Amino acid sequence: MRVQLLKIICCMLLASYWIGTGCSDPPQYEAIQEHTTENKKESVREPDTTEIPNNEPSPERVRDTGAERVKDTGAERVRDAGVESPREIDREPILPEQTTQKKTLIFPPEGGTKCALNVCVKASAEAVKKKTVTVHVSETTGAPTGSYYPPMDIGPDNWKPAEAVHIIFSTKGLKLPQGASYEQLRVAFVSNGRWEPVFTVYDAQKQEVRGETTHFSIWGLVLAQQSCQTDATCLSNETCTGNQCTPECTQKSDCQSNEICVVGSCTACTATFDICGDKKDNDCDGQVDENCRKCGNCLSRETCGADGLCENGIACGVGKDNCLQNGTCVDIASDAHNCGACGVVCKLTEGCTLGNCTPLP
């Protein structure tokens, strides 16, 4: 009770002092209030140091005229007086990585078959002119619709085939419309904004279709005319058979005895003898360069034995040929009637020197 009484008396004395001096507030309270006001002013000048949430990527703070900038990927946020507004950062766009498929086929001087991106190109030594050449293969969207295979841009590197090459597409897993067959597929190239088919052979055993051409372009796989009434509605090397456009021939047996099958057409053939390496059916038997191995040029009725000799005949050495088809080897380097090759006859004023017709002295 005494302690409480003392407190009451002290309070009354202090109140009398404040009233006597005319102060409206206690000095201590004024000091505290001034200090609090200064703190408020200082807090206005101080930037907001609120922690950035952990889900934002590593912000970087920059103090600038009382504002706080928080940088992250894609945008810059400026905080000022508790307001946050997004602002895009000027930066170069990130371009997607190019995914265009492009391959290079390298053919050696002996030719061969090279494949890339599910398409193959077959070229002989004569087609590549017995030189190393390259062919570029790439997917393309610059082709008309209608191809049952992704169109391919097939282009040589500064060379042109000296003879026909094959463009080969696989039919494995290839789905066709109901009622269509693989025999109706045609290898085709783009010309004037449309598909132009070339002579095509379907190989059921290898499950592939092969088209012949002497030039390169954008190639695809299309369906031929599914029905026809006359040959006029088919390709030049096709006939209308059973209301279907089909090649005139695919092998010699489809032609007459004096004809051979060339690029889908039966062509007259005069039988001579096979010249090894010319890729032609010289003797009109439906085979090309048969019996041509280390023996040299054997007669068509002969075969090459394991000993390197023509059975029932002789083997002509280098620089000679059996041009007379009688087993006698002819020196094509000096024979004026077979100069350089069988059947090349020099003029009466010329002789044959090293396989070339030259004026007589």
Determine, yes or no, domain membership for 153: yes
**Joined tokens for residue 342:** 């069988």
CATH number at residue 127: 2.60.220.30
Determine whether 27 is exposed, middle or buried from the number of CB atoms within 10 Å of its CB (0-12, 13-18, 19+): exposed
Do 219 and 331 fall within a single domain? no
Mean pLDDT (whole number) for 186-209: 88
The residue type at 353: T
Do 111 and 199 fall within a single domain? yes
The pTM for the full model equals 0.45
Evaluate whether 28 touches 46 at the Cβ level (below 8 Å). no
Cα–Cα separations (whole angstroms), residue 272 to 28, 276, 323: 132, 13, 9
Do 111 and 215 fall within a single domain? yes
Do 316 and 219 fall within a single domain? no
Do 217 and 295 fall within a single domain? no
Evaluate whether 276 touches 297 at the Cβ level (below 8 Å). yes
Instruction: List Cβ neighbours of 295 (8 Å cut-off, separation of 6 or more).
Output: 304, 305, 308, 309, 310, 315
Do 313 and 218 fall within a single domain? no
Determine, yes or no, domain membership for 313: yes
Determine, yes or no, domain membership for 247: no
d(CA 52, CA 267): 86
Determine, yes or no, domain membership for 32: no
| Domain boundaries, position 343 | 290-361
Determine, yes or no, domain membership for 80: no
- List, for residues 307-358, the tens digit of each pLDDT value: 555 555 455 666 777 676 555 678 888 999 888 887 789 998 999 998 889 9
Determine, yes or no, domain membership for 279: no
Do 214 and 106 fall within a single domain? yes
- Bridge partners (DSSP) of residue 351 are 358
Do 212 and 296 fall within a single domain? no
- List, for residues 137-185, the tens digit of each pLDDT value: 998 887 888 898 889 999 888 888 888 899 999 999 898 888 888 988 9
d(CA 272, CA 250): 22
* Pairing between β-strand 238-241 and β-strand 194-197 as defined by DSSP bridges: unpaired
Model confidence band, residue 302 (pLDDT cutoffs 50, 70, 90):
low
Determine, yes or no, domain membership for 282: no
* Residue where a domain terminates, one of 181, 197, 224: 224
**Which helix (H) or strand (E) segment is 45 a member of?**
helix 27-45
Determine, yes or no, domain membership for 63: no
